[in-house]
Amino acid sequence: GQNIDQPTEMTATEGAIVQINCTYQTSGFNGLFWYQQHAGEAPTFLSYNVLDGLEEKGRFSSFLSRSKGYSYLLLKELQMKDSASYLCAVRDSNYQLIWGAGTKLIIKP
């Protein structure tokens, strides 16, 4: 079966750095996405990785290792508004998106 694993919940301090991991087992791979979802709102796109390596976009970076079936989302200089759920999703060989359950990130002052 297809599976995406990410931690259920993480806590970090305002101003710090946090890394949210995602491991996947899917039938084929055609890209990995990270989305942010605030409570009661729809997800918003954060990043896309299809090749190995690090993609940096401002305070957020996303890393991919296809051989390890592993990705992480790195958030720097955490702000209170970063408190949200972060969803990892992998596009399989049929171009279907397989979603992780999401990681709830709690930022403390």
Burial of 30 (0-12, 13-18, 19+ CB in 10 A): middle
Q: Which of 31, 66, 83, 92 binds other proteins (CB under 8 A)?
A: 31
Q: Is 81 helix (H, G, I), strand (E, B) or coil?
A: helix
Residue pair 9/102 in contact by the 8 Å Cβ criterion: no
Which of 43, 62, 86, 105 is close enough to bind other proteins by CB under 8 A?
43
24 binds other proteins (CB under 8 A): no
Rule CB under 8 A: say whether 7 interacts with other proteins. no
Q: Work out which of 50, 57, 59, 77 binds other proteins, going by CB under 8 A.
A: 50
CA distance linking residue 102 with residue 86, whole number of Å: 5
Residues in touch with other proteins (CB under 8 A)? 31, 33, 40-45, 48, 50, 87, 91, 95, 97, 99-102
